[in-house]
């Protein structure tokens, strides 16, 4: 598993991640600990991480723990909030996103490869 995965719990960490997206892509994964669809998407995310591109940074937001951060991501990146949700960010802007059953390890890999 990649070592460049971090959990976002506050606004300062979000700011840092968005700033980092100007240097390299950052993939945000919004997760709900109470939703079975989110659990499935999280498994797909973890499968992706097994062979993830080390040039990409990964950030997890557990919605129940960091709802203000999750809401700020939606507002700042102008992406309607969904859970589960994956958002790829480059240069401080959303370039791809998926939610629910569209989050698969293959979809994550293709999004990163194409952006």
What's this model's pTM, rounded to 2 decimal places? Answer: 0.95
- Which residue range is the domain that position 89 belongs to? 5-114
Tell me the average pLDDT across 61-88.
97
Number of domains in the chain: 1
pLDDT tens track for 3-35: 568 999 999 999 999 999 999 999 999 999 999
Question: At residue 2, does pLDDT exceed 70?
Answer: no
| The two three-digit tokens of residue 7, written as one number | 């959990």
Tell me how far apart the alpha carbons of residues 46 and 109 are, in angstroms, rounded to a whole number: 12
Integer angstrom CA distances of residue 37 from 34, 44, 79: 9, 11, 19
Question: At residue 1, does pLDDT exceed 70?
Answer: no
CATH of the domain at 51: 3.40.30.10
Q: What is the mean pLDDT of the chain?
A: 95
Identify which of 21, 38, 20 has the alpha carbon closest to the alpha carbon of residue 29: 38
What pLDDT band is residue 52 in, cutting at 50, 70 and 90? confident
What pLDDT band is residue 53 in, cutting at 50, 70 and 90? confident
For residues 18-40, one letter each, b for 16 or more C-beta atoms within 10 angstroms of the residue's C-beta and e for the rest, the string is bebbeeebbbbbbbbeebeebee
Question: At residue 91, does pLDDT exceed 90?
Answer: yes
What pLDDT band is residue 108 in, cutting at 50, 70 and 90? very high
């Amino acid at each position: 598993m990649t070592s460049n995965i971090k959990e976002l719990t506050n606004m300062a960490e979000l700011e840092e991640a968005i700033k980092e997206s100007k240097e390299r892509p950052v993939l945000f994964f919004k997760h709900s600990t109470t939703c079975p669809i989110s659990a499935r998407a999280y498994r797909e995310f973890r499968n992706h991480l097994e062979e993830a591109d080390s040039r990409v940074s990964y950030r997890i937001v557990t919605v129940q723990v960091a709802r203000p951060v999750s809401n700020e991501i939606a507002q700042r990146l102008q992406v309607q909030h969904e859970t589960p949700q994956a958002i790829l960010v480059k240069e401080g802007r959303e370039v791809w996103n998926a939610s629910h059953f569209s989050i698969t390890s293959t979809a994550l890999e293709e999004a990163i490869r194409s952006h």
